[in-house]
């Protein structure tokens, strides 16, 4: 097993816990997992997650609330459509009211 496999599995465990109608960031997940500088690696995990139906990858965005992973979905608008089904509004590829919708795993899941 590659070390990335274990890290990706940990990322997916966290992403599965993001409540509907909330979003988090690559960096927040990395920090929660004790790898604060690994936001890009969380992004790689999310890019590889789209075949996993139980991982809501659409709820993970960049630190500014932008849908930077949208091109990895089956259609360019699918990420936005999934968020909007949960009551999250997006304008110009950025979540409206991001600060109030942000879910911090470090606070929600307290180690």
| All structural domains of the chain with their residue ranges | 3-98
The pTM for the full model equals 0.92
List C-alpha distances in Å: 17 to 2, 12, 61, 77, 99: 24, 9, 15, 23, 18
End-to-end CA distance of the chain: 26
- Distance CA(101)–CA(34), nearest Å, equals 23
Assign a CATH topology to domain 3-98.
Arc Repressor Mutant, subunit A (1.10.10)
Q: What does the pLDDT read at residue 3?
A: 55
Q: Say yes or no to pLDDT of 23 above 90.
A: yes
- pLDDT tens sequence across 43-53: 999 998 877 88
Average pLDDT over residues 14-34: 97
């Amino acid at each position: 097993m590659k070390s990335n496999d274990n890290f990706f599995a940990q990322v997916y465990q966290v992403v599965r816990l993001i409540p509907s109608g909330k979003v988090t960031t690559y960096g927040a997940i990395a920090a929660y997992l004790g790898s604060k500088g690994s936001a890009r690696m969380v992004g790689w995990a999310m890019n590889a997650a789209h075949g996993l139906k139980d991982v809501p990858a659409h709820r993970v965005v960049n630190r500014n609330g932008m849908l930077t992973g949208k091109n990895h979905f089956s259609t360019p608008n699918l990420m936005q459509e999934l968020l909007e089904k949960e009551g999250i509004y997006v304008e110009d590829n950025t979540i409206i009211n991001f600060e109030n919708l942000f879910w911090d795993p470090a606070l929600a899941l307290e180690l």
